[in-house]
Every structure is written in structure tokens, then in C-alpha cells.
Structure 1
Amino acid sequence: MPLNIVHDKDGLPRIILTEPTGSSAEVLLYGGQVVSWKNERREELLFMSSKSFWKPPKAIRGGIPVCFPQFGNLGLLEQHGFARNRFWSLDEDASPLPPANNQSTVDLILKSTEEDIKAWPRGFELRLRISISPGKLTLIPRVRNVDNKAFSFMFALRNYLSVSDISEVRVEGLETLDYFDYLMNKERFTEQADAITFDGEVLHIYSCAFNLNISLLAGNRSNSSSLCF
């Protein structure tokens, strides 16, 4: 399906993805960030803060920010790395799309610049494929090392999901994993619950969370994600 590229009131290029049942997604080239995902009933599934700054070099709070090459303050770079504060480009050399009906896709790429290498001396290409299909939003990241030596990095998609009542939310699929509780001085625990519920602020970082099916259930609406790294 063709891409629809518009410029919002702040002048930022915005890509509109739609599919025939009525769901849609909006992606900014600034940060490679998904800022809207609506289902076929036009309900917004992502949260955007009313206090967000929509002008570079500020990061945009809400949607799905891309954290690279650092997550949080777990390193020497700026909070969550610099990928969310850079302008991305349409990827003209993306890998072929598999056959799919009713799917709309955009491929983005971020390449290391001289400015980036001053802060983080590694040559990289970060690609992000964003696809929308009935009832599903898929983001597939890929990092390519174009340097002459190996390097380590952190990567995260920091989802801001819109829920009306936090007490009705539960997260499944994290049982038996170890996690660090950042509200308890980063003390380490093992998750015992089959389903995690919320009655206040929670800030956990789970370790070894690979190849899991993680489901977020909110009332009678279910948003399920398969995360494979």
C-alpha cells in the first residue's frame, strides 16, 4: 500500500499507515517514533503526554520511542541514547517484504554521523520496519555493524500504552524471570506471579527476557506482543 507523508503543524514529516479495516499508525521521521496507533474503531491505543515537546532536539514523550545505543542512564550517553533525537530516513535498500494482505509498511534507517561517532565511536546502521495490519502493529529493528571492530549496545522500544484504569491491567509472560526493582535501590528479585497487576508505580527491569510472548490485558481489550531478540 502507498505511503502517505504529511507535515504536521510543527513542520515534522509524518508517515501515515492505514489498512482496509480502518486501523492506522502515524510515524515521525524525527526519532523514527510511532506516535499514534488506532484500531478499526478509531480508538487510540498509545499514550502521548500533553507536555511533550515536538521540536528538535527534545525527545517526544509518548508513543513508542526508540532507545539506542543506550537504555536509561545505564551508560555514559544521554538518557536512552541518541536515536530518539535524530532524524531518520526512508530506507531505499530495505529487505523484501513477505507476501501479506491488508498490510501497510514503512522501512526507516538511521546511519551513524560524525556527531554520533564523537559521542559513541562506532559505525552503525539502525533499521526499523513498521507494519500495520488488522489488529496488529509490528516493529522489527535490525542493527548492522559497519565498523571494523565488534561493539556492544543496548536497544529498547519504550511503549507508552493508553489504558483508562490501571487497576484493570495485567501483564502475563514474565513469571520466573529475575528483575531489578528501581524503586527499591535496584534490588534483585525473581518474579513469582503468573500475572502482574498494578496498584501504584512500578519500575522493574527484567533480565534474560528473550523469545517470550508477553501479553498486556486491559479490561476486555487485549494487546499482545511477541518480542524476539
Structure 2
Amino acid sequence: MPLNLFHDRDGLPRIILTEPKGSSAEVLLYGGQIVSWKNHRKEELLFMSSKANWKQHKAIRGGISACFARFGDLGSLEQHGFARNRMWSLDRDPSPLPPPLDNHSSVDLILKSTKVDLKTPHSFEFRLRISLSADKLILIPRVRNTDNKAFSFSFALRNYLSGSDISEVRIEGLETLDYFDNLMKRSRFTEQADALTFDGEIDRVYLHSPNKIAIIDHEKKRTFVLQKKGMPDAVVWNPWAKKAKANPDLGDDDYKIMICVSSAAIETPLFLKPSEEWMGYQELSTVSSSYCSGQLDPRKVLYGFH
């Protein structure tokens, strides 16, 4: 499948993935960040901030990025890890992963620790495969411990999905789960609602979440299905109006059209002995849904959809 590497007008090297039915994805080597995912109708499925800063070497608000890594309790590291603020390379040896399927367009990226990076307390290799098909976007992150001692770390794939109106979005699959509320000093609660809806700021880490989560956009009659392995937690975030206005790289009204749901391993850090490797998996897909006509069966989306 076609894979094109070029530099845009801001000098950022990026990779364009395409597939025969017309879907596409754009990946920046800086941060290993996915900044666009379009379906065969050329509809953008990812949110990007209207005030995104493309010209400075800094993680761009939106798309999909890997939050790696906060080692232990080292508070000197960037809030969402340093991988988002490093230049990645093409991985010429993605073994032991199998070759991509014939109907997939893929790219393999790698980020290695360096001795000059004093913020990296351990030696590692972080590999990321990004694979595009007609109706799916798959990310396979892998972290190998190349140090001579064990270490633990937290991890997340931060997904900014495009929505029509956040007040018309509901998330199913998180009901009855315990969660940490970051707006309440990480106090622990249990989700009581049948589905998560939005009417104000939210910043929660849902613990031991299912492998499938449905993000239902009633207005667009579209459901994102998020499937994950190796990342037991899920993070849901929306800054709402006040914090959106205070955020320099977020438009005042951007919060209305963004759905930020992350696959994560936060409560229990991932632990690697020397030479050990961890591998995760995330698959995003979309299905048509109609809240008004009742065509969507949430049980089918969450447990039986293929």
C-alpha cells in the first residue's frame, strides 16, 4: 500500500498513509503523532485545535499521540511524557511483528533513549506501528527495556476524536466502573450513570475498563468503537468553556467539538525487567448509528460487533 514521506511548508516531516477505498492518515515524525484520519468520504475523524501551533517543536493539540513515559514518580518529566516532544525515526526492523496485511497501509516508527537526554532515566526502545485499512486505524505500541535494571512506567494513547456537539455525545462501556477524578484531587468514585454524558468539565481515569468502548455521536449518527489490549484504564477529558479559553493552544469553542478518550495504563504502572518488552493494541473504527430511530444496539457495539 502507498506510503509517502515528505516535508510540509513548516518543515515537519510527515508520512501519508492511503488505501484503495480512499481512507487516509497523516503521521508526523515529530512526536510520532497522527494528525489526520479521514474515511473514504474524506470526512476528518480526528479533532485538531483551531489554534494548533505547527511551527514550534512542541506536541500539537489534537490527533492521536503516545503519552510515554512517566517513570515512577519523577515529577521533572513532562506532564504527558517526553515521547510527544521528540523526533522519531522510521523503524527498518519492526520484528517480531508480522508484516502488515495486504489490505493495510502501515508505517513502523521507533524512538530510542539517548544519553544526551537527561530527562530519560532509563534506556529503552519504543516502537509504534500505525496501520490503516478502509474502516480502521490500528496502533501497536511496544516498549523494550534495554537497560540493565528493571523499571516501571505509565502509558497512554491520547485520542482526540472529532464530534459535532459534545452535549450530544455519550460514552458507553464505563458504567459501574471505579474512577479517579482529577478535578477532585484524584478522589475515587464509582460511575452511577448508564452512560457518560457531558455538561461540564471532566477529567477522569476509569479503572479496569472493558476492551471495547463505544463513543456515540447522536448528531452525526456515528459511533466510534475503541478496542484495546494491554491498557486496562481509560481516560476521559474535556476542559469545557473556562479552561478552553485559558488554554493558549485551544480555541475558545473547540471543547464543543472534541472528544478526548485515551487508552491507558495508569493505576498499575507497567513493569519491565531487563530485555523484557511490553506490547499494547488499540483499534479505532466507526459504525453508523441512529439514536433517534433506535438502530444502534449498544450491546452489539460493545460486545459483538466485528
Q: TM-score, normalised by structure 1?
A: 0.92
Whole-angstrom CA distance in 2 between matches of 1:224 and 1:40 = 17
Alignment of 1:117-196 (within 5 A): 118-196=118-196
- 1:107-162 per-position Cα deviation (integer Å, ceiling 9, x unaligned): 0000001133x223200000110011111111110100000111011111111111
Correspondence for 2:278: none
Structure 2 residue identity aligned to 1:193: A
1 CA distance for matches of 2:16 and 2:108? 13
Which residue is equivalent to 1:216? 215
1:226 maps to 227
Q: Provide the rounded CA distance (Å) in 1 between the counterparts of 2:83 and 2:61.
A: 14
Deviation at 1:99, TM superposition (A): 6.0
| Residue number in structure 2 paired with 1:27 | 27
Match of 1:113?
114
1:37 partnered with 2:20: no
Contact 1:171 1:216 in 2 (8 A): yes
**What's the counterpart of residue 60 of structure 1?**
60
Q: Which deviations, in whole Å up to 9, do the C-alpha atoms of 1:52-77 show, x marking residues without a partner?
A: 22234322111012111029x98331
Measure the CA separation in 1 of the matches of 2:216 and 2:98.
Answer: 30
Percent identity between the aligned chains? 69
Change over 3 Å in CA distance of 1:80–1:131 after alignment to 2: same
Tell me if structure 2 keeps the 8 A contact 1:183–1:202.
Answer: yes
Go from structure 1 to structure 2 and tell me whether the alpha carbon gap of 1:99 and 1:54 turns closer, same or farther (over 3 Å shift).
closer
* In structure 1, C-alpha distance between the alignment counterparts of 2:70 and 2:162, rounded to whole Å: 25
| 1:77 alignment partner in structure 2 | 77
Which secondary structure does the structure 2 equivalent of 1:154 belong to? strand
Deviations 1:170-199 (A, max 9, x none): 111112221111222322101223321112
Letter in 1 for 2:3: L
Please list every run of 5 or more consecutive structure 1 residues that lacks an aligned counterpart in the other structure: none
Change beyond 3 A, Cα 1:74–1:49: farther
SS at match of 1:114: coil
1:17 aligns with 2:12: no
- Cα distance in 2 for partners of 1:115, 1:84 equals 17
Q: Which amino acid aligns with 2:103?
A: N
CA distance 1:130–1:55, change in 2 (3 Å): same
Structure 2 unaligned spans of 5+: 231-306
Q: Given that residues 56 and 85 in structure 1 are in contact (C-alpha distance below 8 angstroms), is that contact kept between their aligned partners in structure 2?
A: no
What is the identity, as a one-letter code, of the residue corresponding to 1:102?
Answer: N
Higher relative contact order (CA 8 A, sep 6+): 2
Aligned residue in 1 for 2:269? none
Summarize the Cα distance change of 1:206–1:75 in structure 2 as closer, same or farther, 3 Å threshold.
farther
SS at match of 2:132: strand
Return the TM-score normalized by structure 2.
Answer: 0.70
Q: Which amino acid aligns with 1:183?
A: L
Higher strand share: 2
Structure 1 CA distance, aligned partners of 2:131 and 2:87?
19
| 8 Å CA contact 2:100, 2:106 repeated in 1 | no
Aligned length: 226
